[in-house]
Chains A and B, each alone.
Chain A
């Protein structure tokens, strides 16, 4: 039933962040990829096999069926036997032969209605989405009206006037009434595609509309078009069977629905011919299920979140056991967080990918540590691993190492024990408050449930504290009872920071909390974070891809590259004397605020594929000063004047 596809296609999941890039990005949904994906899905394979089976029956019924389906030559109402596998009807026809001959009509109806409905859906949906304006308004209204009209009774009304409707009428009527759902989906997909760069560029190039639609839009919507076809095929199989069952349409035609009609009117179940009524129903269900399974499998292919992948630990390059639980944890006085050898892997279709590779770091009370690196370098994964928040959409798993916080190894804590630590001692601020705040709860409600989880404050106390933290981040407490969508971008972000301050935790983990804001708002938010930190004394781990943003605020800077620490040193030290060529490159990519005007160089090339990282130094392929020894073996972190640098060039200095 196409109902199964409603939700998943309604809100196609955003591609998961992090190094799990098997999502059909807009332009890669071509036929080849699609078929490979189909081959990997068990549901799709079963669906295809059932369809193939019925197709063979439909094409060669004369060769397969032992008798003519209409020959009334046998004794009536026989039970199943070796001559008549399913018995005979009350007038002595062979039920098995009727079943095989009936396949053809059911399959033809399914495919033809699927084709007609899909064609209409594509025409209406894509035109509405692409042309916009009044055309869209009109087409959308028609689509919505047909969508909510009760189609089945309407078809019955039509059939009632046209008693002996032929096959063609049936197909046309079912197709013309069954396209609306697909059209609606295709329209919204077209609308979102319209804003993509590649379409803009095609328009700028001056391509003709028809070219843009045929060559740019339609190929990217392959999976949705296929889903529309399969959905309308399911609907056609069931609706046609229903119509034939109540005797509308040609009662002399050979179809499963007609068999059910005759079985019902001869009370086959009571009259000792149960298989006459059972077998055609099973066939209808099997054919419907085949289309529905395929549809479901396509859903899973187009939104990979629906699939469960298991991390194959045996295929990890180097697996080390997690730390022993009993070991007493000794951490230096003043250190609140100590990360040791933390390693995180993702399960992908091509095997495990190590996204964070043996990372060590320490954090002192009240310290501000910034982690910088390109997208996909593992910085966010590291952050969420420390906070034990991995899981969909970042389906990474910690496969080794320790995260010592408050004398305990967070990696080993049960979810229940973790809950006691969360928010009271360790809170999180995320990249986009638009996504991180629950859209259906007010700010007050979202603060309240955090307070409820960790305190026994009364409602009044919670209200007072919520107002207090809002004032801390310069938001007028009148906004406390607003919903997230009613606040401006900057206010949402501040509200999230306010929420993180409810219990004044020891450590706040921030994942690019300013990247959704404009430059001025970024600056003022950074100042605010720094002020709050100095006032309240919490430590911060701050992830960003924008090095210049943290230059004035962070105490130390950790540069990450391809899942590893490239360089870790005092912020001022790193800005003045970057040692790793990658850090130098990053600095070259950002304009200096204080220094003289220099040409921005940037870093040529792109980060390596973590599924198969290069041997030795992972930066070597892009490094201007690479030498043969760079790729000879694993490069350790060399200590140089209080900094840590993963580069052989500093070996002599260390």
Chain B
């Protein structure tokens, strides 16, 4: 419990760091982008949009930098990211919440699937050491995980939807549909999710397989695995509760690191597939210079990543009694 609390504390610090970066980056850029932007937009956009930008950057006339920072911090914590410029006069929060479920389902489920599948394949491969699968695995997956996500996405669209016409080439659902809780819509959304999901799966799985394989090989040299053999346990039992359960611990610890790649990849995959998720809107906001929306989405991504890492920490505490007892 203490362990989880400490991790929670750490995430509050990280979130604060992200918000602070969000505030200072536009100010630290050459020529103080925030101020420059305000001057540039002055007189060109309507007063409401100008106000939206003021909120997004935390710029307020006649306020000191420290004052601006604290009012910005206060607004952000309360979820006030200002108003979106592209979807004016929607508050940023509304757009963010609209994009979130799409990404959660697509990226969330595929990441979990890639992690679980990759971990299992890596474990079994290492267990059958020197076998065909084991010797072929490392070079193949080192190469597949070096392919850029967006490139795989483009090739997948070209091959499976344009050439073979098996699956839709983009979007989250058919444009003639309207989102609703019907079987028809669910099916439509599912069909649209297949290609992006496979793209993320194919590129993300290699990393998990390789880490798990290497961890397992290290763990297989441990005395407790030999002890399990000496006890005459069934291979299946040794593989799961002796090798697997210990090998997955560093994999969970490495989750934070690898998640960065998955998030980067997922953003680009959504972009290529025009998938109406967080990543797509994020890049859209960048292209349209919709800074309030961009900042809101960036913080949302940060929160999502932190939550995923916290979940990995909870899993670690669940699987490793030593972490639970850590003072």
Binding site for B on A (CB under 8 A): 1-8, 10-14, 16, 43, 141, 144-145, 147-154, 156-162, 181, 234-235, 237-239, 241-242, 245-248, 260, 264, 269-270, 274, 277-278, 281, 284-289, 291-293, 296, 299, 303, 305-306, 308, 384, 387, 389, 391-393, 415, 418-424, 427-428, 430-432, 435-442, 449-450, 453-454, 483, 485-486, 499
**Chain B residue nearest to A303 in the complex (CB):** B218
A153 touches B267 (CB 8 A): yes
- 12 examples of A-B residue contacts, CB within 8 angstroms: A150-B263, A150-B264, A160-B286, A281-B147, A292-B143, A306-B218, A427-B230, A430-B226, A440-B319, A453-B233, A483-B322, A485-B322
Write out the residue numbers on chain A whose beta carbons fall within 8 Å of the beta carbon of B246.
Answer: 438-440
Cα of A438 to Cα of B222 in the assembled complex, Å: 9
Residue ID in chain A nearest B232 by CB atoms: A422
* Range class of the B interface residue count: 35 or more
> Given the complex, which residues of B lie within 8 Å of A11, measured CB to CB?
215, 218, 250
> Contact flags (1/0) for B200-218 with A, using CB distance below 8 Å?
0000001110111011011
- Residues of chain B within 8 A (CB-CB) of A281 are 147-148, 151, 154-155
Apart from A7-B211, A8-B211, A156-B267, what are 17 other A-B pairs with CB-CB below 8 Å? A4-B142, A6-B251, A8-B217, A8-B218, A147-B257, A148-B256, A149-B305, A150-B264, A152-B260, A161-B26, A242-B148, A246-B271, A277-B151, A308-B135, A391-B229, A435-B222, A485-B321
B309 touches A148 (CB 8 A): yes
A435 and B224 within 8 A (CB): yes
Complex contact B325–A150 (CB within 8 A):
no
Partner of A389, one of B207, B229, B263, B289: B229
* Cross-chain contact B232 with A424 (CB below 8 angstroms): yes
Q: Smallest distance from the beta carbon of B250 to chain A beta carbons, Å?
A: 4
Q: Does the CB pair A3–B158 fall under 8 Å?
A: no
Distance, CA A153 to CA B263, complexed state (A): 8
Query: Given contacts A3-B257, A150-B301, are A432 and B223 in contact (CB under 8 A)?
Result: yes
Interface centre among A181, A389, A449 (most CB of B within 10 A): A449
* Contact yes or no, B232 A418, CB < 8 A: yes
The answer, yes or no, to whether B98 is at the interface (CB within 8 Å) is no
Please determine whether B305 and A150 come into contact, CB atoms closer than 8 angstroms.
Answer: yes
CA separation between A281 and B158, bound complex, in Å? 14
Interface centre among B135, B258, B272, by most A CB within 10 Å? B258
Contacts of A287 in B (CB 8 A): 146
Task: Output the least CB separation between B52 and chain A (Å).
Answer: 16
Once the chains bind, are A430 and B212 in contact (CB under 8 Å)?
no
Verify if B247 is at the interface (C-beta below 8 Å from A): yes
Q: Please, what's the 1-or-0 string for B308-327, where 1 marks a CB less than 8 Å from any CB in chain A?
A: 01000000000111100100
What's the least CB distance linking A631 to chain B, in Å?
Answer: 38
Query: What separation, in Å, do the CA atoms of A427 and B230 have in the docked complex?
Result: 7
Q: Which residue of B lies closest to A422 (CB)?
A: B232
Do the beta carbons of A435 and B223 come within 8 Å of each other? yes
Looking at A248, A269, A387, the one whose CB has the most chain B CB atoms below 10 A away is A269
The answer, among A12, A436, A442, for a CB contact under 8 Å with B223, is A436
For residue B268, CB closer than 8 A to chain A, the reply is yes
- Is B10 in contact with chain A by the CB < 8 A criterion? yes
Q: Please list the 10 inter-chain residue pairs (A to B) with the smallest Cβ-Cβ separation, ordered nearest first.
A: A422-B232, A3-B207, A288-B146, A6-B254, A152-B264, A281-B151, A7-B215, A8-B214, A393-B221, A4-B210
Is B302 part of the binding interface, using a Cβ–Cβ cutoff of 8 Å? yes
Is B295 located at the chain interface by the 8 A CB criterion? Answer: yes
Q: What chain B residues lie within 8 Å of A438 (beta carbons)?
A: 224, 227-228, 241-242, 245-246
Bound state CA distance, A437 and B246, in angstroms?
A: 12
B35-56 CB contacts (< 8 Å) to partner A: none
Collect the chain A residues with CB atoms within 8 Å of residue B143's CB: 285, 289, 292-293
CA gap between A421 and B232 in the complex, in Å: 8
* With contact pairs A161-B26, A245-B150, A246-B271 given, residues A7 and B223 touching in the complex (Cβ less than 8 Å): no
Q: Please name all residues of chain B whose beta carbon is closer than 8 Å to the beta carbon of A241 when the two chains form the complex.
A: 148
Cβ-defined partner of A260 (8 Å) among B11, B33, B151: B151
Query: Is B212 in contact with A7, judged by CB distance below 8 angstroms?
Result: yes
* Chain A binder among B14-22, B81-89, B171-179, B188-196: B14-22
Tell me if A156 and B224 are in contact (CB < 8 A): no
Residue of A nearest to B33 (CB): A161
- Knowing A152-B260, A435-B222, the reply to whether A3 touches B271 (Cβ < 8 A) is no
Question: In residues 99-150 of chain B, which contact A (Cβ within 8 Å)?
Answer: 129-130, 135, 138-139, 141-143, 145-150
| A150 lies within 8 A of B302 (CB) | yes
Complex partner residue of B321 from A16, A285, A440, CB under 8 angstroms: A440
Chain A residues whose CB sits within 8 angstroms of the CB of B228 once the complex forms: 438, 449
Compute how far the CA of A6 lies from the CA of B211 in the bound complex, rounded to whole angstroms: 6
Whether the Cβ atoms of B212 and A4 lie closer than 8 Å is no
B146 engages A292 (CB within 8 Å): yes
Do residues A157 and B217 form an inter-chain contact, with CB atoms below 8 A? Answer: no
Could you tell me the distance between the alpha carbons of A293 and B138 in the complex, rounded to whole angstroms? 9
Q: What residues of A have a CB within 8 angstroms of the CB of B162 in the complex?
A: 269-270
B169 to chain A, nearest CB (A): 10
Given contacts A148-B306, A150-B263, A428-B230, contact A483 B145 (CB under 8 A): no
**Bound Cα distance A12, B217 (Å):** 11
Q: With CB as the reference atom, state the residue of chain A lying closest to B18.
A: A149
Residues of the B chain whose Cβ atoms lie less than 8 Å from the Cβ of A162: 29-30, 33
Q: Is the CB of B325 within 8 A of A485?
A: yes
Shortest B119–chain A CB gap in Å is 11
Is there contact, CB below 8 Å, between B309 and A449? no
A7 contacts B251, CB within 8 Å?
A: yes
State whether the Cβ of B92 lies closer than 8 Å to any Cβ in chain A. no
A454 to B234, CA, bound (A): 10
The answer to whether B69 has its CB under 8 Å from any CB of chain A is no
Q: In the docked arrangement, what's the CA distance between A43 and B150, Å?
A: 26
Complexed CA–CA distance, A296 and B146 (Å): 13
Q: How far is the CA of A387 from the CA of B230 in the complex (A)?
A: 8
> Hey, which chain B residues are within 8 Å of A154, CB to CB?
18, 21, 298
Please give the distance in Å from B62's CB to the nearest CB on chain A.
24
Contacts of A292 in B (CB 8 A): 142-143, 145-146
Q: Contacts A1-B207, A269-B158, A270-B162 known; A453 to B221 CB distance under 8 Å?
A: no
Contact in complex: A141, B13 (CB < 8 Å)? yes
Residues on B with C-beta less than 8 A from A149 are 14, 17-18, 21, 302, 305
> Does A158 lie within 8 Å of B25, measured CB to CB?
yes
CB closest chain-A residue, reference B138: A296
B167: interface (CB < 8 Å): no
Q: How far is the CB of A21 from chain B (nearest CB, A)?
A: 15
What is the distance, in angstroms, from A294's C-beta to the closest C-beta of chain B? 10
A296-B260 contact given A4-B206, A422-B230, CB 8 Å threshold? no
Q: In the assembled complex, which residues on chain B have CB atoms less than 8 Å from the CB atom of A8? A: 211, 214-215, 217-218
**Which A residues lie within 8 Å of B198 (CB)?**
none
Residues of B within 8 A of A237 (CB): 146
Q: Does B283 contact A (CB under 8 A)?
A: yes
**Residue B220 interfacial (CB < 8 Å):** yes
By a CB distance below 8 angstroms, the chain A residues around B210 are 3-4, 296
Complex Cα distance, B218 from A449, in Å, reads 23
Contact B158 A7 (CB under 8 A): no
Q: Which of B30, B210, B302 has the most CB of A within 10 A?
A: B210
